[in-house]
Amino acid sequence: MAKKMISLGASTEALAEKMKRERGNFSGRLDEIVERYNILLDLETLPDFSEEEVAILGEALGGSAIDRRRVRGLHLDVVDAAMGTPQEREALSAKIEALTAGQRLKLIETLWR
């Protein structure tokens, strides 16, 4: 069977280097991490979002890398969106601010699929 080649980002490259130093199984460890991430997402529940709220969120997230700051400040990003009224954006911001980091990640994953 031919080996599959993938491009590694900085975090995945760091994991590969760590596993090399520890003589560990990189693919096995990566599989564990992905499985655990999916478990975390599966255990999270989300409130319902209207079509307008999803559109505002989509605009707020569009084209930007998802990093720690984006997850933590997602409720602030929707306030700056161009879509929706100021009242809709403020209500959505409050709704997102009440979410845990895990719920925010699930929300992002749900919208980006």
d(CA 73, CA 62): 15
pLDDT on residue 113: 63
How many other CB atoms sit within 10 Å of the CB of residue 53? 20
Q: How far apart are CA 86 and CA 78, in angstroms?
A: 10
pLDDT above 70 as % of the chain: 97
C-alpha closest to that of 105 among 58, 37, 48, 51: 37
pTM for this structure? 0.81
Q: Which is higher by pLDDT, 60 or 8?
A: 60
What is the predicted pLDDT for the residue at 21?
87
Please give the structure tokens belonging to residue 25. 């199984």
pLDDT at 38 over 70: yes
Domain parsing of the chain, residue ranges:
10-43, 51-112
